[in-house]
Amino acid sequence: MTRIAIIGGHGKVALHLSTLLTEEGHSVTSIIRNPDHAADVAATGATPSVLDVENSTTAAIAGCLEGHDAVVWSAGAGGGNPERTYAVDRDAAIRSMDAAAEAGVGRYVMVSYLGAGRDHGVPADHSFFAYAEAKAAADEYLRGTRLAWTILGPGALTDKPGTGHIDVAPVLGVGRETSRSNTASVVAAVLDLPETAGRTIEFRDGTLPIAAALEPQP
């Protein structure tokens, strides 16, 4: 059994993920900001842990992560407020990486998005710009750590049922839809695949079974 901490545990992807992981026999701690969400998290089989990572120190986050084997970042400010977007999606995310290292948690999976990076191409006056900048900075920081990291870039998220099939490295702008259920399944899969450490994997709903799609490309 592996102990896995999910930061942003009440998000839709995270709720799918905690259900999958607990069904597989893993022990899951879902870190949430709002204590009112504890019952929803517990219903998935995960253990809720209330911590406001936006306003927590690295040491406080490390204390919450101690004893775990892996951490998944699935949190987000939700857009609409650039200041808070930077505070959560960049600054708190980076603190969580430092906290994972401090707590001795070697494995770190980041849920990012398809097209993330310094060359994201989002105009400065676009409402998505702060998020794109924040994720680019967080992903770049993670790549520079000594953590066994994997960065996942799903396309535009939907609530459609998961098919268990994806396409990796899709062409930007062509068929970006990605179900949250499939996204959770990809996270669960890479947690069981240490060979995916050090990889950035962008994907969308597609045609290949997830396990086959995640195999290294020749």
**pLDDT for residue 157:** 96
Strand pairing of 208-209 and 165-168?
A: antiparallel
Least confident of 79-93, 112-126, 172-186, 200-214: 172-186
**CATH assignment of the domain containing 62:** 3.40.50.720
Query: Is 218 within the bounds of a domain?
Result: no
**Parent domain of 162:** 3-213
How many domains are contained in the chain?
1
Query: Is 182 within the bounds of a domain?
Result: yes
Query: Is 68 within the bounds of a domain?
Result: yes
d(CA 90, CA 141): 9
Query: Is 27 within the bounds of a domain?
Result: yes
Instruction: Give per-residue pLDDT as tens, 26-46.
Output: 999 999 999 999 999 999 999
Query: Is 103 within the bounds of a domain?
Result: yes
Query: Is 155 within the bounds of a domain?
Result: yes
**pLDDT for residue 173:** 63
User: Is residue 77 over pLDDT 90?
Assistant: no
Average pLDDT in the 188-192 region?
97
C-beta separation of 109 from 8 below 8 A:
no
Instruction: Kindly calculate the radius of gyration of the chain based on its CA atoms and give it in whole angstroms.
Output: 16
Query: Is 97 within the bounds of a domain?
Result: yes
Q: What is the DSSP string of 166-209?
A: EEESPPTTSS--EEHHHHHHHHHHHHT-GGGTTEEEEEEE-SEE
**pLDDT for residue 175:** 74
The token pair that represents 206 in the structure block: 């597609």
